[in-house]
Chain A
Amino acid sequence: MPNNYVPALLFALIALLIPLGTLLLFRLVRPSRPFAAKSLPYECGIDPVGGSRHRFSVRYFLIAILFVLFDVETLFLLPWAIQFKHLGMFGLGEMVVFLGMLILGYFWLVQNGALELE
């Protein structure tokens, strides 16, 4: 039913225009008096040392990778969940195998300390 998506698109357009519109429109009424000290990023009142574009811990990246892995699996669960009542025991068996592998992988991760922060 692509018709149903037309209002969604319309709303998306409005939702995009409102924030951008307010940001641009109110530029007319608000003051702008920047000076060097005001335009520094906040670092507790001290001039920042070096930029913040710095290498950061790989842990954050690992979390992102894990998320991608598991979220894709969640995506597979959705169509199965909708059709579950029609699939009956066959669907259940399939999913137990699928979930089993997922859970196995999960325990492997825990075992290897992928979820430890330090």
Chain B
Amino acid sequence: MADVSSIPVAVSGVHVETKGKHLLLNMGPQHPSTHGVLRLVLEIDGEVVVNATPDIGYLHTGIEKSCESKYYQQVVTLTDRIDYLCPLTNNLCYVLAVEKLIGMEVPRRAQWIRVLLNELSRISSHLVWLGTHALDIGAMSVFLYCFREREEILKIYEYVSGQRMMTSYFRIGGVALEPPLGMLDRVRAFLKTFPDKIAEYETLLTHNPIWLGRTQNVGYLSAADCLAWGVTGPCLRAVGIPLDLRKTNPYSAYNEFDFDVPVRTEGDVYARYMVRIDEMKQSVRIVQQAVDGMPEGPFKASAEGIVLPDRDKMKSEMEALIYHFKIVTEGFKIPAGEAYQAIESPRGQMGYYIVSDGTSKPYRVHVRSASFGNLQALPRMVEGRLLADVVAIIGSIDIVLGEVDR
């Protein structure tokens, strides 16, 4: 930055380029509206933000490094903790990358179950986003309504995997268990009520003049900026670029499903809001199709030495018992190589890059997180805006700090 007027100041560990003698204000890490522990050092003139410097790392847990000391199948449990609002999406991205590395075919039924649960987690993630975003702008009730519906999804998770949040349900080669019998009925029951609930949120917000005033023409980001900063997901689709990896690079069984990619052109907070609301409706469509057309067949691939054998086989066949023992105790080796798999997470493009050195533990796991890319564009959006807009904009880019810091 060759700005002559800027004065560098050290503010508790951050290097800040100030633009004159304004008030320096720490927003976060312990702030109700920074969605976790994001810290922004704001330089404010009255209510106007002159300069914003994000400071991340308060939720750094070293997950990527930890992955290097785990067997391939154990890493799945770590991926849950990266983006804790859609653990299944992380599971999916990781197992897809490993399957790509091995070159493994996954049975169609497993693919469909993955799509179904992945779309449910998109809905639950968007519900948390909508609730907290609305709460930041002062609409308290929407928050509780959203969490009420999210609870239903968490109950489905728990029913399927035994866990509400840290599901670890997807495994290399398929899913962990045959889904319980009543799962589809529970999902159907949810689908029956949920569209009305979306309408309920929209009644409170979509045409509310105060909501429109707070979100329209706020936090504008141009298409060029989005591409330059690596902004993906709903934020990118809100500027009119219909990039959705489910359509452009279909993975799992997404090419078998019929859905639209919602796009808006305004590029402001309201556009992002509308895109996500429409995405929830599209996800309902996908889940409905998955429930209606769920194929029969095995829920995991049969790959000796990589996928755990069935329980009853272990009781009758020696080889199965040995494979089970070997996979659990010493993992399985993957030929040296590397693979990158990107999927469309609720926040944008999520990618797992895995390098194998031929052992049973990954040499390197790198996560390309959507939140990190989207967060980079934040200073550009908030500069020159009011303090209250900062809160609205942070909400609109839907960051999860666990994913940013990893």
CB distance from B40 to the nearest CB of A (A): 9
CA distance A57 to B43 in the complex (A): 13
CB-defined contacts of B27 to chain A, threshold 8 Å: 44
Q: List which A39-83 residues lie within 8 A (CB) of chain B.
A: 43-50, 52, 54-57, 59-60
CA distance A48 to B23 in the complex (A): 11
Instruction: Flag B22-56 by CB within 8 Å of A: 1 or 0 each.
Output: 01111111110010000100000111100000000
Contacts A44-B31, A49-B11 given; indicate if A56 touches B39 (C-beta within 8 A): no
CA distance A37 to B185 in the complex (A): 54
Q: How many residues belonging to B are interface residues under a CB distance threshold of 8 Å?
A: 20
Q: In the bound complex, do residue A57 and residue B45 qualify as a contact, i.e. CB atoms below 8 Å apart?
A: yes
Q: In the bound complex, do residue A49 and residue B47 qualify as a contact, i.e. CB atoms below 8 Å apart?
A: no
> CB-nearest residue of chain B relative to A56?
B46
Q: In the bound complex, do residue A45 and residue B24 qualify as a contact, i.e. CB atoms below 8 Å apart?
A: no
Instruction: Give the residue among A47, A49, A118 with the most B Cβ atoms within 10 A.
Output: A49
Chain B contact surface mostly: strand
Q: In the bound complex, do residue A59 and residue B46 qualify as a contact, i.e. CB atoms below 8 Å apart?
A: yes
CA distance A60 to B48 in the complex (A): 12
CA distance A104 to B155 in the complex (A): 64
CB distance from A43 to the nearest CB of B (A): 5
B315 at the interface (CB under 8 A from A): no
Total A-B pairs in contact (CB under 8 Å)?
42
Q: In the bound complex, do residue A48 and residue B46 qualify as a contact, i.e. CB atoms below 8 Å apart?
A: no
The one of B21, B30, B46 that contacts A44, using a Cβ cutoff of 8 Å = B30
Q: In the bound complex, do residue B26 and residue A49 qualify as a contact, i.e. CB atoms below 8 Å apart?
A: yes
CB-defined contacts of A59 to chain B, threshold 8 Å: 46
B193 at the interface (CB under 8 A from A): no
Chain A contact surface mostly: loop
B12 at the interface (CB under 8 A from A): yes
CB-defined contacts of B47 to chain A, threshold 8 Å: 57, 117
CB distance from A37 to the nearest CB of B (A): 13
CA distance A46 to B26 in the complex (A): 7
The one of B26, B45, B48, B386 that contacts A43, using a Cβ cutoff of 8 Å = B26
Binding site for B on A (CB under 8 A): 43-50, 52, 54-57, 59-60, 117-118
